Structure 1
Amino acid sequence: MASIVKRGRSYRAQVSLYKYGEHKKLTKTFATKKEAKLWTLEVELAKGEGKELAQRSTTFSDFFENWIYLVKINDVKETTFQNYVRTLGVIRNLFQDIQLKDLNDIVVQKKIDEYAKTHSRKTTHEVLLKIKTSLRDAYARGYIANDFARLVKTRGENPTKRNKALSITDFKKLRNHVLQHPEDEFNVLVLLALETGMRRGELLALRPENLYEYGIEVRHSISPTSDDTSLKTQNAKRDVSINKEVFELIRKIPVKENGHIFSFGGFKQSELLAQLLTELDINKTTFHGLRDTHASFLFAQDIDIGYVSKRLGHINIQTTQNYYLELMPEKKHQQDADALNLLSAL
């Protein structure tokens, strides 16, 4: 049942809802009676289609929170769930008290564009993907009137890549240094990252029982934000061969009380790596950059991409091609020279 009441120069429209034994009312004020009539008609039609109109006055932030704790918590890994929790903070800051009924592609696009001003395109895209997934769920449940999520786009620029692969020259320089100073446990960790291309979490998760002659069983990964030690993907479960010299250096490291070979060290490995690279006058990169360096070095030596993909624990070769097929500078220069020579010989 709908009603429209004139209040001063405006009109208040009201629609009664009844569901599950509860009476609720939706109200909205308009400047003209025509607008009020149109709104009540739309609401009555939606009500007749069984839409969950009462839920539409819920703020998007509250809906997203309920959604991740009731739905996503059972669908994703603990580390992924923690990403959703962090995204909740972003959404509360961006959308504040905006209700589901007031959302559309323009509203969401403006909020995403606002977020993109201070964040990378990749980070913005990851936030938007979570927003889109929740909006599709809201539409399926009748909480929003339109499935507009697909219309919202990621914008913004990507910052300079932080995890760049080292040049062959810097790769050799760093490798020689850590090999010559194995008394520092961190140097062995860096060496192993260069030698295997393992992720930082996989390295920190190593236990003595993961070592064999001469190789490493990659079975777990440590995260600073979660107690979940499962690997990123099923393909990440793999065996990685290493040479005898590196194997013996790892075996000499005293096992910690928690059963792991390497100390977590408050997860300050990134800072320690930055200090080490500065001391050696090597261009800065990250631990993931050491993984890139390992892959790039193998490519530079013409190692089969299928082997490299399995060694890195990628889900398929396409992933390896998309993210790691960056030639080291020296190799690229050689390839350029080879290509020009071939063209000149035509």
Structure 2
Amino acid sequence: MKGIDSMASIIKRGKSYRAQVSLYKNGKHKKLTKSFPTKKEAELWALEMELEKGNGKQLAHGNTTFADYFEDWIYLVKINDVKETTFQFYIRTSNLVRELFKDIKLKDLNDIIVQRKIDEYAKTHSKSTTHTLLLKIRTALKDAYSRGYISNDFSGLVKSRGKILSKRNKALSISDLKKLRNYTFQHPENEFNLFVLLALETGMRRGELLSIRPENIFEYGIEVRNSISPTSNDKSLKTKSAKRNVSINKEVYDLITKIPVKQNGYIFLTYGFKQSEMLAKLLEKLNIEKTTFHGLRDTHASFLFSQEIDLVYVSKRLGHSSIQTTQNYYLELMPEKKHQQDADALKLLNSL
């Protein structure tokens, strides 16, 4: 092999050609090999590998499986970058990566292989869930490329697919909001009803509601300072902007201040974090369209929008880090308001 015989070797094995490149890692010499149908392809690959060695690429790491690399990456890098609850999600993602990629090595990865694995996952998951997985895989691949463990960054070529499911956190209509709110007001003897009422009244997240202590309640509002999670002991809020004071009506204040404080110092029980299941039974009883517990937060936001409350105020009340977040996730009008605006738009067009 001219020009690179001293650095790499090409050996004919039957009908194929095996290229071999010498590597040096952690004080030890190793060899990277790959077979090709033609000598020209083998020579080209060997040349590319030698050039990448010259550019500082750490090719020896390519023999590490992607699953092992992803796990090492989250424990060495991400563990210091994210809060504990988010890190727990990375651990679950690592288990998914191991299940999908099994023993596939870094050096054997390309956009086609990763795309196939993402598509395999997408067959049984929603597009949004698949996209969340892909984002983390992309970040890990970019990290591997920046460290020279893979020869090119192909992560941007991989697309997220999957089933487009109807939104589970659906905002209730104004009429259903009134029905649910009135019922919870009239039946305060059930503490879960007051939990639902407070979610409708404040738009607070479930974990934020669960972390309310007597000292967090004032006339007339609630200090949001912590959040309780079912997967972590970390009680810190989702973002810095989530720390806020949320005003409430006097009638709601009077009801929640009568709730007996639990032995652990909190106002509400965790209900085993089964709030969505409990809410589903309540909504079925009242003949209200099903939504998740987080859907009550959407309902609160959508109602404020429908009443033309200022976007900046709504964003701060929800504890979002930016107005853009509010626009992206909650700027969905309630059905009655949308129908009215449809009529208004047609009326304007007819007047031209």
Q: TM-score, normalised by structure 1?
A: 0.95
Q: 1:296 is matched with which residue?
A: 302
Closer/same/farther in 2, CA of residues 9 and 332 from structure 1, 3 Å limit = closer
Deviations 1:61-101 (A, max 9, x none): 11000000001100111111111111111111211111111
In the TM superposition, what is the alpha-carbon distance from 1:241 to its structure 2 partner? 0.5
Matched, 1:162 2:168: yes
Deviations 1:169-210 (A, max 9, x none): 111111111111111111100000000011111101111111
Give the alignment of 1:211-230 within 5 angstroms: 211-230=217-236
Closer/same/farther in 2, CA of residues 4 and 191 from structure 1, 3 Å limit = same
Q: What is the alpha-carbon distance in structure 1 between the residues aligned to residue 345 and residue 15 of structure 2? A: 77
Matched, 1:116 2:119: no
Q: What is the alpha-carbon distance in structure 1 between the residues aligned to residue 164 and residue 87 of structure 2? A: 25
Structure 1 segments (4+ residues) deviating >6 Å: none
Q: What is the alpha-carbon distance in structure 1 between the residues aligned to residue 33 and residue 112 of structure 2? A: 23
What secondary structure does 2:35 align onto? Answer: strand
Closer/same/farther in 2, CA of residues 37 and 336 from structure 1, 3 Å limit = closer
Equivalent position amino acid for 2:177 in 1: F
Q: 2:105 is matched with which residue?
A: 99
Q: What is the alpha-carbon distance in structure 1 between the residues aligned to residue 305 and residue 100 of structure 2? A: 43
In the TM superposition, what is the alpha-carbon distance from 1:338 to its structure 2 partner? 2.8
Q: What is the alpha-carbon distance in structure 1 between the residues aligned to residue 157 and residue 212 of structure 2? A: 45
Q: What is the alpha-carbon distance in structure 2 between the residues aligned to residue 19 and residue 117 of structure 1? A: 40
Q: 1:338 is matched with which residue?
A: 344
Equivalent position amino acid for 1:200 in 2: R
Matched, 1:322 2:332: no
Q: What is the alpha-carbon distance in structure 2 between the residues aligned to residue 20 and residue 341 of structure 1? A: 75
Q: 1:68 aligns with which of 74, 80, 87?
A: 74
The range that moved more, 13-22 or 2-11, is 2-11
| Native 8 Å contact 2:17 2:35 kept in 1 | yes
Deviations 1:151-176 (A, max 9, x none): 22222342001111111111111111
- Aligned length in residues: 346
Q: 1:81 aligns with which of 84, 87, 91?
A: 87
Unmatched runs of 5 consecutive residues or more in structure 2: 1-6
Q: What is the alpha-carbon distance in structure 2 between the residues aligned to residue 341 and residue 56 of structure 1? A: 64
Q: What is the alpha-carbon distance in structure 1 between the residues aligned to residue 179 and residue 95 of structure 2? A: 43
Q: Percent identity?
A: 75
Q: What is the alpha-carbon distance in structure 1 between the residues aligned to residue 254 and residue 197 of structure 2? A: 12
Q: 1:24 is matched with which residue?
A: 30
Deviations 1:243-300 (A, max 9, x none): 1111121111111122111101211111101111111111000111111111111122
What secondary structure does 1:25 align onto? Answer: strand
Equivalent position amino acid for 2:252 in 1: V
Q: What is the alpha-carbon distance in structure 2 between the residues aligned to residue 320 and residue 171 of structure 1? A: 20
In the TM superposition, what is the alpha-carbon distance from 1:10 to its structure 2 partner? 3.6
Equivalent position amino acid for 1:265 in 2: Y
In the TM superposition, what is the alpha-carbon distance from 1:314 to its structure 2 partner? 1.4
Q: 2:312 is matched with which residue?
A: 306
Q: TM-score, normalised by structure 2?
A: 0.94
What secondary structure does 1:29 align onto? Answer: strand
Equivalent position amino acid for 1:27 in 2: T
Equivalent position amino acid for 2:324 in 1: Q
Q: What is the alpha-carbon distance in structure 2 between the residues aligned to residue 318 and residue 50 of structure 1? A: 41
In the TM superposition, what is the alpha-carbon distance from 1:33 to its structure 2 partner? 3.3
In the TM superposition, what is the alpha-carbon distance from 1:336 to its structure 2 partner? 2.5
Q: 1:275 is matched with which residue?
A: 281
